[in-house]
Amino acid sequence: MTSSPNLQFVVQPGGKLTGRLRVPGDKSISHRSIMLGALAEGVTEVSGFLEGEDSLNTLRCFRRMGVRIEGPDALGAGRVRIHGVGLHGLRQPDGPLWLGNSGTSMRLMSGIIAGQDFDAVMEGDDSLSRRPMRRVTEPLALMGARIDTHEGGRPPLRVHGGSKLKGIHYVMPMASAQVKSCVLLAGLYAEGETCVTEPAPTRDHTERMLRGFGYEVRRVAGEGGSSTVCLTGGGRLTATAIDVPSDISSAAFFLVGASIAEGSDLVVEHVGMNPTRTGVIDILRLMGADIEVMNERVVGGEPVADLRVRGAKLKGIEIPESLVPLAIDEFPALFIAAACAEGRTVLTGAEELRVKESDRIQVMADGLVALGVDARPTPDGMVIRGGAIHGGTVHSHGDHRIAMSFAMAGLRATGAIRIEDCENVNTSFPGFEQLAHGAGLSIVSTGEAS
């Protein structure tokens, strides 16, 4: 179940992005729709579900815990029907739960499984097995959960069932939507009130969706951008309908690509505009990008809009640290924008990037340097001086966002760019190559996927 390193992208230099396109459904919301739909009472209908490996692994895990889930194949593209079993209706799986490359799945499901009366093991691929999990196992232990980890607090995780959880007030040492969500989901099973204080805003899809399923969630604003989210255990989730918007993290590659390529004029449709996710737009605009927000509306409690982006002359900036948690998954693409900008771009406060699917600071810096860009990694960010991007070979280290970011760099390159180990692009963006080619990127894949 590991990735094949044989699939490569080859991008020819030049071009521009034009037309209209819609990227796949939001991965964060797709994960949560399966989880909460499974724990709800009644039948939840989902449209726009992301059929990428990460969210499909979440779906398969809940099937193995006794939840009947129809689709997506049998119902048509992006449609899923979840027959919820209620908060206490999950059954013990017949073996370890495979989560592939998905840290989101493992961290959020840790909170859910901690409240069950059965044991379960969660494991993943080589990349996931290197990612830190103490950030969720420690607060869960404070609630009374018993979880065994591998050396260094890494996967696989063995969650021991039958623990009586108690509500806590957890103050997160660093802003993380996954940690917040894990603790809140465990709080559904806890006695009393569970509260999480975050030092800076993070994505709030879990809170929004819990409310959509009829569960009361309270938020209190604090000082300096902090806030506290609370819920009380012992309630119930009621099935609902979910329309998953397009993933702004996937749209980000096209926002950057169109911004750096002269003559581009591209509309990305039905993009989720959750205010805890729009940091990529704010940062690009600070750099001088021409991004127009059109046709704003609300779909299923989530703001949605169409984004028109045209080629622009970008300038280097010092990225405000307040925007870092709101764009944490988009920095690989933003590093490409910085490489094409005039002047110096400085990122600080983003040490979280070192423990993503890869060390995104080091891997992006290595790739940029290989293409002739002046990029210097720092412990918590990077300093990039914009200039010419040459052709060359870069290695994505199996990280889907690294691969797609360097693909967009081809729009400004002076020679062909070869990107190695691209199979994991399918974890978040099935059909990326075809969609990018249709918009004007000269991209082909070579080699074989496993």
**pLDDT tens digits in sequence order for the chain, 450 residues long:** 334 457 999 999 999 999 999 999 999 999 999 999 999 999 999 999 999 999 999 999 999 999 999 989 888 889 999 999 999 999 999 999 999 999 999 999 999 999 999 999 999 999 899 999 999 999 999 999 999 999 999 999 999 999 999 999 999 998 899 999 999 999 999 999 999 999 988 999 999 999 999 999 999 999 888 999 999 999 999 999 999 999 999 999 999 999 999 999 999 999 999 999 999 999 999 999 999 999 999 887 899 999 999 999 999 999 999 999 899 999 999 999 999 999 999 999 999 999 888 899 999 999 999 999 999 999 999 999 999 999 999 999 999 999 999 999 999 999 999 999 999 898 889 999 999 999 999 999 998 655
The predicted pLDDT at position 449 comes to 57
- Please provide residue 86's backbone torsions phi and psi, each rounded to the nearest 5 degrees: 85, 170
Burial environment of residue 152 by CB neighbours within 10 A (0 to 12, 13 to 18, 19 or more): exposed
E strands present in 4-40:
8-11, 18-21
The predicted pLDDT at position 448 comes to 66
The predicted pLDDT at position 1 comes to 36
Selection from 179, 173, 185, 186 nearest residue 144 by Cα: 186
Confirm whether 265 is a catalytic residue: no
3-state helix, strand, coil in the chain (%, to 5): 35, 30, 40
The predicted pLDDT at position 2 comes to 39
Element of type H or E holding 368 = helix 360-370
What is the CA angle 439-440-441, rounded to 5? 110
Distance CA 337, CA 345 (A): 9
Q: Which CATH superfamily is domain 8-23+245-446 in?
A: Enolpyruvate transferase domain (3.65.10.10)
Distance CA 233, CA 236 (A): 9
Q: How many CA atoms lie within 13 A of 98 on its CB side?
A: 11
The predicted pLDDT at position 224 comes to 85
Selection from 299, 238, 244 nearest residue 43 by Cα: 238
Name residue, tokens 């790739």.
367
Report how far apart, in Å, the C-alpha atoms of 48 and of each of 31, 78, 106, 153 are: 12, 5, 22, 35
Distance CA 294, CA 28 (A): 23
Q: Which of 329, 374, 380, 421 is catalytic?
A: 329
The predicted pLDDT at position 142 comes to 98
**Which residues belong to CATH 3.65.10.10 in the chain?**
8-23+245-446, 27-243
Distance CA 45, CA 62 (A): 16
Selection from 449, 412, 428 nearest residue 13 by Cα: 412
Q: Which CATH superfamily is domain 27-243 in?
A: Enolpyruvate transferase domain (3.65.10.10)
253 contacts 335 by C-beta, under 8 angstroms: no
